[in-house]
Amino acid sequence: MTILVKNKHTLQIDEFKFKCSIGKKGSTSNKKEGDKKTPKGTFEIENLYFRKDRLEKPLTLLKCVEIKKNMGWCNDIRFPKKYNKLFKIHKRIKHERLNRKDYKYDLFIPIKYNFKKPITGRGSCIFIHLTKDYKPTSGCVALMKKDFLIMLKLIKKNSKIKIF
């Protein structure tokens, strides 16, 4: 099962097509931290992270991880050992806070871009997350909640995402 991000507005799984948004500056084969571009390529996906205080655990074959208040995803190029990894928030280390005030990370799936042996500065925190307005992202792929929940029922642990 492959999730296809065909262009900046279309995500497709089998015959299901969903409206989506991607990075403000489109997609690229040469991703850099902070460039507001979505990386092109075929990538594995990680677990589903969700806010238990805001919604029930969704129906999915993915492993589900409850988001805690102290969870962050490192995007600090000064810390190569933590870069593009889930970690316990530390004030000195720049990160993406996973327990946000807004709704965007109530449900999200990390895309395994620059993941196994991350190269510092090549981009971090690339997620499939929620949107309410399809505004361009900082490099992630964003879907409406209703579409995200349908996608969760279609994909499996070994599903991949292909971004054109």
The 10s digit of each residue's pLDDT in 76-86 is 999 999 999 99
Residue-level pLDDT at 35: 98
Render pLDDT for 148-162 as a digit per residue (tens, 0 to 9).
999 999 999 999 999
- Cβ(141)–Cβ(38) under 8 Å? yes
Average pLDDT over residues 137-144: 98
Total number of domains constituting the chain: 1
Residue whose entry in the numeric block shows the structure tokens 């900082």: 138
Over the stretch 4-45, which tens digit does the pLDDT of each residue have?
999 999 999 999 999 999 999 999 999 999 999 999 999 999
Whole-prediction pTM: 0.97
Phi, psi of 78 (to 5 degrees): -80, -10
Residue 28 pLDDT: 98
pLDDT at 1: 87
CB distance 66 to 50 below 8 Å: yes
Which residues form the domain of 92?
A: 2-163
Whichever domain contains 32, its CATH number is 2.40.440.10
pLDDT at 24: 98
- Provide the pLDDT for residue 48: 98
Across residues 127-142, what is the average pLDDT? 98
Cα 154 to Cα 6, 15, 16, 115, 158, distances in angstroms: 18, 11, 9, 24, 12
